[in-house]
Amino acid sequence: MKTQANDIAPDSTRAAPLVDPFARAITYLRVSVTDRCDFRCVYCMAEDMTFLPKADVLSLEELDRLCSAFVGLGVRKLRLTGGEPLVRRNVMSLIRGLGRHLKTGDLDELTLTTNGSQLIRFADELVDAGVRRINVSIDTLDPDKFLAVTRWGKIDKVMAGLEAAKRAGLAIKINTVALRDVNVGELDRMIAWCGDQGFDMTIIEVMPMGDIGEQRVDQYYPLSMVRADLRKRWTLDETDYQTGGPARYFTVRETGQRLGFITPLTHNFCEACNRVRLTCTGTLFMCLGQEDAADLRAPLRASESDEKLVAAIREAITRKPKGHDFVIDRKGESGGVSRHMSVTGG
């Protein structure tokens, strides 16, 4: 990968960190490196998705430059997402390039969220690039249900990828979306499996994002009910553990592993939000649950200098809202957003 302008010592335009109107420091950037995926999960995508033309997608060098600009502005954590990030051609060159910020100490963590399908190929390379932990999205351990939920996924391939990741030394957290009439009765089993494997786990409420061809309310199951059900079998001890994301964590006393809950609908998690999301087209969303966005592609391409880019980033952060507007409503799902999760960056 080419040396970027950001490899030079930060200039005065990037001296002050990013702080939003509610005095929250922005230290966490989630980047969708592609909107494409080799699965079609029922809560994330329509089966007949239309993906972005390749000409609209930023090059890997441009993504590196954008991420590096944010690092220069005080971002300490980068998470690469998709779609499925590991299906992006030559994505490891981007990951290796961003790893230089770990070596300088300007970045605390470089990580990614994946469906696990490509881990057999890339687990060792990820560790070599500086990645130390990953999130893997798995909603069921039942092969037939797994195929139904992902539409195209094979659980055996994902399990082999998890084994490869463990051998490589990656810490693994399982992300599971609670789906009514699909997997809520299986969460006990998944917690036990995570305990056996040494995996942490986060359970997530369905978020009303994108047209998926069915009613979100038919998928939605509140995590307040999930937690009440789980307490019948498991002892959930309060903890102040944080990863920089929105999950609230407990320790499962019987397994020793952490269990997180992400509850955008039953409990708004916005008060300490420290993150923004960048799409593979260079669009910056200041909030997952609102449509306001900033175009960073134009200033990125306008000059080899980062002055205009940094100014655009700073202006965007002044528009970061206090919180999202997610609501699931059988009368019309008011409070959702039109874009799919795969576009925004997980």
Please tell me the predicted confidence (pLDDT) of residue 336: 45
Contacts of 101 by beta carbon, 8 Å cutoff, 6+ apart: 68, 71, 78, 107, 110
Reading the chain (346 residues) residue by residue, the pLDDT tens digits are: 554 544 544 444 446 899 999 999 999 999 999 998 988 888 777 777 778 888 889 999 999 999 999 999 999 999 999 999 999 999 999 999 999 999 999 999 999 999 999 999 999 999 999 999 999 999 999 999 999 999 988 999 999 999 999 999 999 999 999 998 889 999 999 999 999 999 999 999 886 544 434 544 566 888 999 999 999 999 999 999 887 667 889 999 999 999 999 886 555 556 778 999 999 999 999 987 677 899 999 999 999 999 999 999 999 999 998 875 544 444 444 444 444 455 555 5
> Rounded to two decimals, what is the model's pTM?
0.85
Question: What is the dotted CATH code of the domain comprising 19-344?
Answer: 3.20.20.70
Please tell me the predicted confidence (pLDDT) of residue 49: 75
Tokens of 303: 């000059």
- The CA–CA distances, whole Å, from 279 to 5, 32, 80, 99, 170 equal 21, 5, 10, 20, 26
CB 319 within 8 A of CB 329: no
Indicate the domain borders of the chain. 19-344
Whole-number Å distance between alpha carbons of 119 and 147: 18
